[in-house]
Structure 1
Amino acid sequence: MENTVLLKAIIENAIDGLITIDERGVIESINPSACKLFHYRQDEVIGHNISILMPQPDRSQHDGYLHHYQKTGNASIIGFGRELIGMKKDGSQFPFRLGVSEVKYSGRTIYAGFIHDLSREKEAESRLQEYAALLEHQVEERTHSLSQSLQTLQKTQDELRLSLDKEKELGQLKSRFVSIASHEFRTPLSMVQLSASLIDRYAETLNSPNIGKHVGKIKDAVLNITAILNDFLSLEKLNSGKVNPQLTRFNLSAMAAELAGEMQVALKGNQKIIFKHRGESHMIRLDQGLLKNCMVILIDNALKYSGEESNIWLYTKINKSVCTVRICDNGIGIPETDQKHLFEPFFRAHNTGTISGNGLGLSILSRYASLMGGSVSFKSRINRGTLFTLTFPTNDHE
């Protein structure tokens, strides 16, 4: 008796539903959990065929399943777990897992069905499938977007490569043009210079100052054009990487003194070039040709932009770590707004007026200095002059 009461208590309080039917499929008992699942009271289902808890087509085919099993012994549900759809009193449906056991009792056969509601699991599974589908869709979109980006990138790379090839080809054509044009111009310019000198010589007997004046203009023009061509050639060599410093040991003070003498021919009026070397050391190891070009550019600019009564100071100095070359003038100076552009190719300050020049000298100078591991700096004030300083590592010196 006690065992019976205990068994009944277990069945009544079981979380899962429990329904028993007879051999004809008629419901004999149903526990509270099953009633709650199907929204029926016990008295509404007991005595009715179990098919009332099933949707079509299981409802109309259930008795046939049961009869087939009883006749053949081939079970499709009994003894197995299976997922089915149940129908509640209001007609709504829900998924559940059904396990059916066959019980022989007092000469009768009873079938006990254990019902586990799968609504939450199916809902979670559905959400998971939706999330997985969403992720898959996002992955497809991202993959497609990445594929398009890669195609765009490849196209951009191809266009860039083509553009670079064209730019390289144009650069080579430009370099060849500059080189050829510069060399070709030199021959007629030399002829013009020679002819001007001959005219000047023959005109001496005519005693005509006007002839000498115009011949002088011709010679100055030829010199200016020659200087421009030399600058273009220097720039072309720098751009094509043809300038490689050749370091040699030489006497800096002797070279500077000699250069100061050579530049006397470029003086205007009463201009003077004053040279002074500081320090006991005189020998340095640099590219003498490049350094001389740098100094010529600075001295020529100092003369060009200074008055006819001006002095140009050239200082050289060597110590244990660096050597410096300073060129100082008291000319027109460089406007502060122009100073940041001073070493850009073809740039000229706004106060140069009609003074000749092509804006290449300082750009070439800075690149020469950089090739030798040096630097160039300057200080300038309007109408108070300019000081340029070239600084190089001492390298090997005595």
Structure 2
Amino acid sequence: MDFKNDLYEILFGAIQEGLILVNSEGVIIELNKTGNEMFGYEESELLGQKIEVLVPMKARGEHQKHRDQYNEHPTSRSMGSALKLDGVRKDGSEFPVQVSLNPFESQTGEKFVVALVSDVTERRENEKTLLKLRESLEQKVKERTKELRESEKLYKSIARNFPSGVISIFDKSYRYLFAEGQGLYELGIETSDLIGLDYLNRIDSRARVLVKQELDKVFKGESKNFEVNVGKKTYSLSAVPLSDAGTEVDRILVVEKNITAEKEVSKKLEETLKQERELTEMKSRFVSMASHEFRTPLTTINSSATLIKKYHEKKSYDKLDKHTDRIKNSVRNLTAILNDFLSFEKLEANQMKASFAQWSIPNILQETFEEIADIIIAEQKIVYKGPKELILLTDGQLLKNSMLNMLSNAIKYSKAKGEIIVRLEEMEEKIVISIQDFGMGIPLNDQKNLFTRFFRAGNVTNIEGTGLGLNIVVRYLDLLKGEISFKSKEGEGTIFFITLPKEK
């Protein structure tokens, strides 16, 4: 037994690839069982045929040229791994193959080539599948990249156009990792210039400690919303930690916005609301005051009218004058109350305006004395001390109304017998009108509230009045660019000072 030949036969039959032996003419002289099965031929059916019978028709001519070139320079090499080759079966069907060529020469000098052929159909299908998967993955990567870029573009656009504010991201050292917002552009700051800089160093020293205290809490996992005042500006800061659940916070996002304008609007709204509440309260007190103050003079008028009728029927004419005077006084009180309410209403509605012109102040005072004469109590006397002529740029009617109010108070709160002294003094830049009475005076505890609306001192509650007179005078003098002040001692009297500026 030739052991060597037997071993070759065993290996030749057992190998799982097609093993084809071809001579220099390209004729198949040997073929193993796997080769026959691979190409669909019966045993010995391919022997004596040219190798091109196993090559697709379209490639046979080219294959002949390649075979001739290979025979001129035969080398061991593999084909079909990088270069795609196809074989053709007996039934004409084609399938992908990989071929390894190994030339050798017999002892007689005859040249042969051993072709090791592998059916790579499954591998080719896997390659196609992998290619499709790769292409699909590449497409998804492209789409996702596009989405991320669009998302990043949108985010930057939103952040960049964030009104009057800045959106920033900081690391634990408070250094900028990201910054965008209109607030930066309003300051002429490029976002790229901030990256890596210390945020806290850019904050006003007056707010730095507070901001760091609050943001330190955010690095511990809290979300914070707080306001910071820097000079006349107010900033709102909202900060959130940036981390996955369970991990340490190493970055925070801070939204910083200048809310000064919003605060101003809010403040104005609060002031308006306060004024509305005060107006509602004022109207309520107005109605209450009117009903109370009107009741007394109307009752007096009614009772006096009834008594006049009775005295007239009894021909007791000597008693008529007393009740006629009471009716006149009550009518004057009603008129004064109505005038106060009407003036107050006009002032509240900003309907009262000053009309400046040249006026003689002594003449205005004299007209006031004449108009007030009807309400002077018996044996009271108004004494004027001042120049006979003094011209001032002012509103004569508003000044006269102020003096009528002041003199009316002086008469009401003075003794039945006594003087009311009115002084007029001219100084370099102003004039001063003082009204002095020697009546009951103003209690010390009440003096701080004297010019507020509806206020009446504790020692005059039994004397008719609305508590609006002095408040009206203050507002008249505001229109005249003037001021009012006073000195008073309870039981000794009061002196009021009206100061008006002179034309420059």
Residues 301, 330 of structure 2: 8 Å contact kept? no
Taking a change above 3 Å as real, the CA distance of residues 142 and 172 of structure 1, as seen in their structure-2 partners, is same
Task: Quote the Cα distance in structure 2 between the aligned partners of 1:381 and 1:356.
Answer: 21
Shift in Å, 1:303: 0.8
Q: 2:396 aligns with which of 284, 288, 306?
A: 288
Paired residue secondary structure (2:222): helix
Task: Quote the Cα distance in structure 1 between the aligned partners of 2:222 and 2:434.
Answer: 66
Task: Quote the Cα distance in structure 1 between the aligned partners of 2:495 and 2:278.
Answer: 38
Larger relative contact order (Cα-Cα within 8 Å, sequence gap ≥ 6): 1
Deviations along 1:76-97, one digit per CA (max 9) or x if unpaired, are xxxxxxxxxxxxxxxxxxxxxx
Taking a change above 3 Å as real, the CA distance of residues 130 and 287 of structure 1, as seen in their structure-2 partners, is closer
AA aligned opposite 1:217:
R
Runs of 4+ in 1 over 2 A off after TM superposition: 129-132, 134-150, 157-175, 192-223, 317-320
% same residue:
31
Matches within 5 A, 1:147-166: 161=269, 164=272
Unaligned runs of 5+ in 2: 1-170, 175-214, 227-236, 240-254
Deviations along 1:320-339, one digit per CA (max 9) or x if unpaired, are 31111111111111111211
AA aligned opposite 1:342:
L
Superposed CA RMSD = 4.6
Matched, 1:223 2:323: no
Shift in Å, 1:158: 8.0
Greater gyration radius: 2
Shift in Å, 1:222: 3.0
Matched, 1:245 2:354: yes
Taking a change above 3 Å as real, the CA distance of residues 303 and 174 of structure 1, as seen in their structure-2 partners, is closer
Q: 2:456 aligns with which of 340, 348, 351?
A: 348
Taking a change above 3 Å as real, the CA distance of residues 231 and 166 of structure 1, as seen in their structure-2 partners, is same
Deviations along 1:283-325, one digit per CA (max 9) or x if unpaired, are 1111111111111111111111111111111112233311111
Paired residue secondary structure (1:141): coil
AA aligned opposite 2:401:
N
Corresponding residue pairs, total: 259
Shift in Å, 1:138: 3.0
Task: Quote the Cα distance in structure 2 between the aligned partners of 1:394 and 1:163.
Answer: 34
Deviations along 1:193-237, one digit per CA (max 9) or x if unpaired, are 899889969966833455554444343333222211211121121
Residues 430, 501 of structure 2: 8 Å contact kept? yes
TM score, norm. by length of structure 2: 0.43
Matched, 1:334 2:442: yes
Taking a change above 3 Å as real, the CA distance of residues 204 and 282 of structure 1, as seen in their structure-2 partners, is farther
AA aligned opposite 2:346:
K
Q: 1:311 aligns with which of 390, 409, 419?
A: 419
Residue number in structure 2 paired with 1:384: 492
Q: 2:405 aligns with which of 274, 297, 300?
A: 297
Residues 264, 273 of structure 1: 8 Å contact kept? no
Task: Quote the Cα distance in structure 1 between the aligned partners of 2:306 and 2:414.
Answer: 32
Task: Quote the Cα distance in structure 2 between the aligned partners of 1:204 and 1:164.
Answer: 58
Unaligned runs of 5+ in 1: 1-128
Taking a change above 3 Å as real, the CA distance of residues 204 and 144 of structure 1, as seen in their structure-2 partners, is closer
Taking a change above 3 Å as real, the CA distance of residues 130 and 226 of structure 1, as seen in their structure-2 partners, is closer
Residue number in structure 2 paired with 1:277: 386
Residues 305, 323 of structure 2: 8 Å contact kept? no
Matches within 5 A, 1:1-398: 138=219, 141-143=222-224, 146=237, 161=269, 164=272, 168=276, 171=279, 206-209=315-318, 212-278=321-387, 282-395=390-503
TM score, norm. by length of structure 1: 0.53
AA aligned opposite 1:306:
S
Task: Quote the Cα distance in structure 2 between the aligned partners of 1:135 and 1:200.
Answer: 88
AA aligned opposite 2:353:
N
